[in-house]
C-alpha cells in the first residue's frame, strides 16, 4: 500500500528568509578564515568532477550540471526529468550510474532518468569520463560514462567515535522552489553509519512570457548506510527510498503522479595478498503512475482521459579483481543486470479500456571484461580493454481495447504476438587508450574503441503507435521493431592537457562512426499509418537501423590573473549526421560555451558567468525538428563563509531576464498554457537563489 509523504510547508519561511538575506551578506566584510575555492581547474587525466557548489543553483534538475562538462548537456522534459546528453548521445546510450551502480528507470518515457535519483542536496558530485569510457565502467557505454556520487559516511583513523554532518538548504524565486537535505553520520576506524534525507518542492517555472505549465514538482528521499572494516576487508550496505509526487513533464503526453522507488545494495572490498577484490549486489524496485489530466488541463472528451501504471524491478551484481601483471595492473570482472518492465494504460472514466503498453518485458545483460593498465617509462602509459556482453530480451503477448474493437490495432497486436520476441545479442567492446607527457606542462591522450548497444525495450517492443519512447519528446508516434540489430560505434578521441603556472587548457577532438544506429524513420506500413492517423499523427515513425556519425570538439580552460582573480571556461561542439541519407540527427546540442570570471578572498567569492549558445539549424527533417536561435545569458553568484563549516551561496540566474529557447528542451504538449502547443519549451527567466550549507 502506498503512503503519501506530507508536504514540508514549514520550510517555505526559511527559503524566503535565505533569499532576502543573500545579497547583503555576500557584500559583507571578509573574515579571516581558510580560502573558499570555487574556480574550476583542468581534469587529472580523462575524469571531470563537478560539485553542486560550483554551479549557480537552477532548480532540482541534477542533469544540468552536465552543462559544465566539456561535451555535456541535458535534454529537458521537466524539472525532475532531465536526461544526460554527452557528445550528442543521450538516454540509454549513456551509461549513467548512481554511486557506481546502474539504475533501471521505471518510466517508459524516462520521466525518471537515472539522475532523477540524485537530488542536489544529497549529491556530492557528478563525475564524467571524458572521451571513450573504459570497459570496466560497465555495459553499453556507447555514449559515455557518467556517475553521480551521493554523500556518504567515511571511516576515521581512531577508535573513538566521531559525529559529523553535511546539511544544505536552498531556495529560488524562479519557481518558488526550495530544498532541504543532507547527511548525518558517525564513524570510527572500524564502523561507519549514516542517515540521509531530502525534501524538495516547487511551483511552475517562470519565463519572460509567463509560466511553463505544468512544471511543479515534489520529491522526498531518505535512507541509511552502514560500513564495517577489519584488516584488509570492508563491508557496506546502503538503502535509499525515493518518493516523487506530483511533477510536471510538459514535453511528454502525461505528467508524474508518483514514483515510489527503493534502492538497495551490498558491497565488499578486500585484499588477498596482491589481489584486490570488489563485489556488489544491488536491487531496485520502481512503482510509477502518470496521467494526462491531474496537473494539465484534462482532455475535452472523457474518452481521451488516460493514466498509465508502470513498474520496474532490477537485480544485479558486479565482481572485479585487480592484480599486478606484466609490469602493470590487470582487472578481470563479471557483471549482470536483469530488469523487468510493465506498463499498462487505462481510462479512469471507462473501466473496460486498457492497453498493454509493455507487458512482461525482460532485458537482461551479462558481461565479462578484462582491462590492463601499464606504464611505459616515466610519464607514459596505456590501457587495453575488452568486454563481452550478452543481452537477452523478451516480452509477453499484448492486448488492448482498441485491438478488440478495431481492425488496425488488432492486426498490429496479432502481428506482434506472432513474432519471435525472444532475442539474444552478443556484443563485443574493445578500447585502447594511450597517454604521454610531452613535457612537465603538456600531456597528450589518444583513444580508439569499438562500442556497442542493443536496442532499448521501447525500441524493440513498442507495438502500437504511441509516444512512450524513452523521452524523445519529438511530438511523433512510434512503433518498435523486434528485429533491430545492435548499434556498433567505431570511435577515436584525442586530446591535450596543458598547464603552466595559473593557466590550463584541456581540448579534445573526437569522431564516432555508428553502424546500425537506431533512429525513427518514416513508417511505410499502411496499418501503422492508419492507426497513427486516427490518433492525430499521419506521419508516424518506426525504429530502424540506419548509419550515422558524430564528431566535434570540446575543451576546458582557465587562467589565474592573480591569487584572487580567476577565469574559467568550457566550450562544446558536436555534429550528428545520418550517413545513409542527407539528414541530421535529432536533438543534437548546438555550439555552447561558458566563460566565468571569479574574484575570491579568504572568506567570500563572486562569479560573473556568461552562457553563450549558438543557433541550431542543423536539425532532423525526419523528426520534423524545429531550429532554434542563439542567445547569451548572464549569471552572477557568490559564496560567503559565515563561520567554520557554514557557507552561504547566493546569486541571480539569467540576470537580464533574456527570453530564449534551449534546443534540447522538448515541445510543449499542454493546452491553455502561456506556452503555445507545439512550441519548444522556453528557458527559465530571471531567478534569485540562495543556498546555505553547514558541514561539521
Could you read off the pLDDT of 263-312 as tens digits, one per residue?
999 999 999 999 999 999 999 999 999 999 999 999 999 999 999 999 99
Return mean pLDDT, the chain.
92
Asked if residues 51 and 124 have their Cβ atoms less than 8 Å apart, the reply is yes
Please report the DSSP string for 121-138 in residue order. GGEEEEEEE-SSPPGGG-
Q: Is residue 24 part of a domain?
A: yes
If phi > 0 it is left, if psi is from -120 to 50 it is alpha, else beta; for residue 678 that is left
Q: Is residue 310 part of a domain?
A: yes
Q: Is 319 exposed, middle or buried (0-12, 13-18, 19+ CB in 10 A)?
A: middle
- And the C-alpha cell for 660? 530564449
Q: What is the pLDDT of residues 143-163, one digit of tens each?
A: 999 999 999 999 999 999 999
Contacts of 554 (CB under 8 A, 6+ apart): 70, 71, 87, 130, 507, 508, 570, 571, 572, 573, 574
Q: Is residue 623 part of a domain?
A: yes
Contacts of 50 (CB under 8 A, 6+ apart): 65, 66, 68, 69, 125, 126, 128
Q: Is residue 1 part of a domain?
A: no
User: Is the sign of the CA dihedral 408, 410, 412, 415 positive or negative?
Assistant: negative
Asked if residues 485 and 544 have their Cβ atoms less than 8 Å apart, the reply is no
Q: According to the model, what pLDDT value does residue 355 have?
A: 98
Residue-range definition of the domain harbouring residue 24: 11-695
Q: What is the pLDDT of residues 483-519, one digit of tens each?
A: 999 999 999 999 999 999 999 999 999 999 999 999 9
Please, which pLDDT band fits residue 250 given cuts at 50, 70 and 90?
A: very high
The CATH number of residue 379's host domain is: 2.40.170.20
Q: According to the model, what pLDDT value does residue 59 have?
A: 80
Which is nearest to 339 in space by CA: 366, 357, 320, 319? Answer: 366
Q: What is the pLDDT of residues 621-652, one digit of tens each?
A: 999 999 999 999 999 999 999 999 999 999 99
Q: Is residue 6 part of a domain?
A: no
Which is nearest to 80 in space by CA: 224, 245, 209? Answer: 245
Q: What is the pLDDT of residues 34-70, one digit of tens each?
A: 333 333 444 456 889 999 887 776 689 999 999 999 9
Asked if residues 82 and 113 have their Cβ atoms less than 8 Å apart, the reply is yes
Q: What is the pLDDT of residues 318-363, one digit of tens each?
A: 999 999 998 899 999 999 999 999 999 999 999 999 999 999 999 9
pLDDT at residue 11 tops 70: no
Q: Is residue 4 part of a domain?
A: no
Asked if residues 68 and 39 have their Cβ atoms less than 8 Å apart, the reply is no
Q: What is the pLDDT of residues 445-472, one digit of tens each?
A: 999 999 999 999 999 999 999 999 999 9
Query: At 144, phi and psi to the nearest 5?
Result: 115, 180
Q: Is residue 657 part of a domain?
A: yes
How far is residue 321 from each of residues 273, 276, 333, 448, measured CA to CA in Å? 12, 6, 6, 24
Q: Is residue 5 part of a domain?
A: no
Which is nearest to 142 in space by CA: 90, 187, 101, 194? Answer: 90
Q: According to the model, what pLDDT value does residue 42 have?
A: 44
User: Is the sign of the CA dihedral 471, 477, 482, 488 positive or negative?
Assistant: negative
Q: According to the model, what pLDDT value does residue 14 have?
A: 32
Asked if residues 643 and 607 have their Cβ atoms less than 8 Å apart, the reply is no
Q: Number of folded domains in the chain? A: 1
Give the number of other CB atoms < 10 A from CB of residue 552.
Answer: 20
Q: According to the model, what pLDDT value does residue 44 have?
A: 53
Average pLDDT over residues 402-428: 97
Amino acid at each position: 500500500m502506498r503512503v503519501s509523504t506530507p508536504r514540508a510547508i514549514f520550510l517555505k519561511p526559511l527559503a524566503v528568509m535565505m533569499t532576502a538575506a543573500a545579497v547583503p551578506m555576500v557584500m559583507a566584510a571578509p573574515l579571516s578564515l581558510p580560502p573558499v575555492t570555487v574556480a574550476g581547474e583542468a581534469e587529472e587525466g580523462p575524469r571531470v568532477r563537478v560539485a553542486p557548489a560550483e554551479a549557480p543553483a537552477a532548480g532540482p534538475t541534477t542533469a544540468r550540471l552536465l552543462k559544465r562538462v566539456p561535451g555535456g548537456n541535458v535534454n529537458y522534459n521537466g524539472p525532475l526529468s532531465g536526461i544526460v546528453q554527452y557528445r550528442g548521445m543521450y538516454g540509454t546510450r549513456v551509461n549513467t550510474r548512481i554511486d557506481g551502480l546502474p539504475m533501471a528507470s521505471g518510466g517508459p518515457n524516462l520521466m525518471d532518468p537515472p539522475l532523477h535519483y540524485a537530488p542536489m542536496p544529497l549529491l556530492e558530485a557528478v563525475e564524467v569520463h571524458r572521451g571513450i569510457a573504459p570497459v570496466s565502467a560497465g555495459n553499453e557505454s556507447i555514449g559515455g560514462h557518467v556517475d553521480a556520487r551521493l554523500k556518504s559516511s567515511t571511516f576515521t583513523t581512531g577508535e573513538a567515535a566521531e559525529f559529523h554532518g553535511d546539511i544544505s538548504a536552498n531556495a529560488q524565486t524562479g519557481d518558488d522552489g526550495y530544498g532541504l537535505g543532507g547527511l548525518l553520520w558517525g564513524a570510527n576506524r572500524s564502523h561507519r553509519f549514516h542517515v540521509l534525507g531530502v525534501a524538495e518542492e516547487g511551483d511552475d517555472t517562470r519565463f519572460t512570457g509567463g509560466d511553463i505549465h505544468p512544471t511543479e514538482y515534489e520529491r522526498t528521499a531518505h535512507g541509511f548506510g552502514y560500513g564495517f572494516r577489519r584488516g584488509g576487508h570492508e563491508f557496506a550496505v546502503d538503502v535509499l527510498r525515493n518518493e516523487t509526487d506530483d511533477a510536471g513533464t510538459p514535453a511528454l503526453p502525461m505528467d508524474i503522479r508518483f514514483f515510489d522507488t527503493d534502492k538497495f545494495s551490498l558491497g565488499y572490498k578486500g585484499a588477498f595478498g596482491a589481489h584486490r577484490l570488489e563485489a556488489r549486489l544491488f536491487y531496485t524496485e520502481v512503482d510509477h503512475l502518470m496521467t494526462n489530466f491531474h496537473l494539465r488541463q484534462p482532455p475535452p472528451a472523457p474518452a481521451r482521459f488516460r493514466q498509465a501504471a508502470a513498474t520496474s524491478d532490477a537485480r544485479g551484481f558486479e565482481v572485479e579483481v585487480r592484480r599486478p601483471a606484466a609490469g602493470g595492473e590487470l582487472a578481470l570482472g563479471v557483471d549482470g543486470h536483469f530488469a523487468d518492465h510493465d506498463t499498462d494504460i487505462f481510462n479512469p472514466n471507462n473501466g473496460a479500456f486498457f492497453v498493454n503498453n509493455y507487458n512482461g518485458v525482460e532485458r537482461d545483460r551479462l558481461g565479462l571484461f578484462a582491462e590492463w593498465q601499464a606504464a611505459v617509462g616515466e610519464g607514459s602509459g596505456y590501457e587495453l580493454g575488452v568486454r563481452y556482453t550478452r543481452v537477452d530480451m523478451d516480452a509477453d503477448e499484448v492486448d488492448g481495447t482498441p485491438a478488440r474493437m478495431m481492425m488496425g490495432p488488432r492486426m498490429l497486436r496479432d502481428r506482434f504476438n506472432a513474432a519471435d520476441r525472444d532475442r539474444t545479442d552478443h556484443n563485443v567492446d574493445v578500447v585502447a587508450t594511450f597517454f604521454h607527457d610531452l613535457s612537465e606542462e603538456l600531456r597528450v591522450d589518444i583513444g580508439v574503441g569499438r562500442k556497442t548497444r542493443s536496442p532499448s525495450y521501447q525500441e524493440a517492443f513498442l507495438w502500437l503507435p504511441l509516444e512512450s519512447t524513452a523521452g524523445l519528446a519529438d511530438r511523433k508516434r512510434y512503433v518498435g521493431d523486434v528485429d533491430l540489430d545492435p548499434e556498433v560505434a567505431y570511435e577515436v578521441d584525442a586530446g591535450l592537457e596543458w598547464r603552466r603556472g595559473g593557466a590550463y587548457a584541456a581540448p579534445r577532438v573526437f569522431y564516432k562512426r555508428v553502424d546500425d544506429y537506431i533512429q525513427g524513420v518514416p513508417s511505410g506500413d499502411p496499418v501503422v499509418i492508419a492507426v497513427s492517423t486516427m490518433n492525430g499523427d499521419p506521419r508516424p515513425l518506426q525504429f530502424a537501423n540506419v548509419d550515422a556519425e558524430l564528431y566535434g570538439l570540446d575543451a576546458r580552460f582557465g587562467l589565474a590573473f592573480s591569487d584572487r582573480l580567476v577565469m574559467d571556461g568550457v566550450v562544446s561542439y558536436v555534429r550528428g549526421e545520418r550517413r545513409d541519407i542527407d539528414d541530421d540527427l535529432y536533438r543534437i546540442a548546438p555550439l555552447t560555451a561558458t566563460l566565468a570570471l571569479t574574484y575570491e578572498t579568504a572568506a567570500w567569492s563572486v562569479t560573473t558567468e556568461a552562457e553563450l549558445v549558438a543557433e541550431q539549424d542543423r536539425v532532423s527533417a525526419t523528426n520534423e525538428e524545429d531550429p532554434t536561435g542563439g542567445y547569451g545569458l548572464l549569471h552572477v553568484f557568490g559564496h560567503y563563509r559565515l563561520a567554520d563549516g557554514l557557507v552561504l551561496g547566493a546569486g541571480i540566474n539569467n540576470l537580464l531576464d533574456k527570453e530564449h529557447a534551449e534546443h534540447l528542451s522538448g515541445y510543449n504538449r499542454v493546452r491553455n498554457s502561456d506556452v503555445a502547443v507545439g512550441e519548444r519549451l522556453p528557458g527559465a527567466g530571471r531567478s534569485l537563489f540562495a543556498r546555505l550549507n553547514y558541514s561539521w
